[in-house]
Amino acid sequence: MMTTSSIPPSPAIVDDRVRADVVIVGAGVAGLYAAARLPDHLEVVVVDKGVPGGDSGSSPWAQGGLAVALGPDDSPAVHAADTRLAGDGLCDPVAVDVLTREAPGHVRQLLRMGAQFDRVAGELDSDDPGHLDLAREGGQRVPRSVHRADATGAELVRVLRAAAAPKVSRLAGIAVGLAQDDARRVTGLWVLVEGRVVAVEARAVLLATGGCGGLFAATTNPAHATADGVALALAAGAAVRDLEFVQFHPTGLAVAGTWRFLLTEALRGAGATLHDAQGNRFLLERHPDAELAPRHVVAKAILDQHDGTAWLDATHLSEQQFASEFPTVLAGARRYGFDLVNERVPVTPAAHYQVGGVRTDLDGRTSLHGLYAAGEVASTGVHGANRMAGNSLSEALVFGARAVDALVAELPSRQGDLGPAPALASRPSVATDGLRDRLRSAMLTGAGPVRTEAGLATVAAALDTMVGDLDLPAAVPDEVELWHALRVSRLLVRAARLRTESRGGHWRDDHPASDDAWADVHLEHVATRRPGDG
């Protein structure tokens, strides 16, 4: 939740235009860390959707921690090996080495900025990361996650909002298109603000828009996580890749509704176990690390149980330990009528993380001049076919910082021409709730954690029909969001149909094994249409 002191001022809008040096789209960890590192003399505008409370993204909800090699039995090399193993053969080893080598320095920077991470009992506050308590999460062979109880994302956002607020202005609205000059260089952003389209002229644009959980009828993400950044990049002609890889977190609380309350993996790191309906632990035979196997292994094992549901048992933890280490999940489960202290609770996988995204190099550059990307929206090569627990926050920091460094070094001397604004329908707005429900249901059923050609073909046909129902959005945020979601969903399904194997988070029941022919193969897409083409 934003406090009054952390809400930046709004920029001056003159004749439906805003001028800036840099525009950052998204206000999660990647975007805020980038904003905080930008030089003070630059005019920076942060665009977010203006959802009440300011928490339209996933960063404030992150429970676990950020994976950093700080422990006595850990090293960047061990961290890298674990990351590559979770990535199931598709990680870029150079990107992984960058992440694991540079992450410790960013933890030190966060401590200097005032981050309050949990410490080893008896240790006093200091900037020494060696005093930090480390949790173990899935795919980590040793404890590696720096955390703040089970609300690490909220702590990071608190610190970074305070650091970024004095340096930026905030425009509340939804991006509807990237501006480009005749050379296709990105020169700004078109933003829908209270029913009118505002042009934000900028010398560079950083996408930090988060992921795609809102495309599915079961997700740990906010409903507004609708893959906007990927849709914006596609429409502008930037390359995107690996969209078939979506991570489904194994332990979403099995309750009715779209949102699945997340039961952090750190619970399993603290000894919680998973059981079938008869009370048997079923992961012991699946993987040497049992409940702490990589997430795609645990998710598939749960889905193989009756009704795709398992039971998480954390009753070995005392009420006092829950209150000090896991207050978020304890209170959240109780809101839904479950008591983690005294009973096993039902869990099922839910869409959690967009592994693919806008293709970038190691410095956040996309395939378009003037456009950078960082955080979940970006495909840096770190995660491969599945993300190791704890690497999302670390990646947001490491590559958010690298993107800013490259952006500043390459900043042109002036803004370019904006080019045509994206086309919007002039008709009255339509009710989108029914369409959105159809999209989410179709995506979970046909393109969820278990896929087949028949299921993917069915969802592809359903999406084609929905696009006919909303061929062009009106100037209404819900329609723009749904338009973005539909376009990205269609491309995700196309990629999933092409990859006729099972690898990482992409499981094909009709092709249940990995195929050497797909080793090191990344599916990349570049659209040919320009903004304004309809």
| Both structure tokens of 224 | 């507004």
Whether the CA torsion 13, 18, 23, 26 is positive or negative: it is positive
Q: What's the rounded Cα separation, in Å, for the pair 83 and 237?
A: 30
| Both structure tokens of 59 | 């960063």
* Beta carbons of 211 and 58 less than 8 angstroms apart: yes
Query: Of the listed 185, 295, 344, 387, which one is catalytic?
Result: 295
**Residue 519 Cα to chain centre, angstroms:** 25
Q: What is the dihedral of CA 483, 418, 199, 160, to 10 degrees?
A: 80
- Beta strands of 329-443 (E only): which ranges? 345-354, 357-359, 371-373, 378-379
Cβ count within 10 A of residue 4: 5
295 tagged catalytic: yes
CA distance to 185, 303, 416, 477, per residue, from 182 (Å): 7, 50, 9, 28
Residue 253 per-residue DSSP state: E
The three-state DSSP-derived secondary structure of 288-333 is CCHHHCCHHHHHHHHHCCHHHCEEEECCCCCHHHHHHHCHHHHHHH
Active site residues: 295
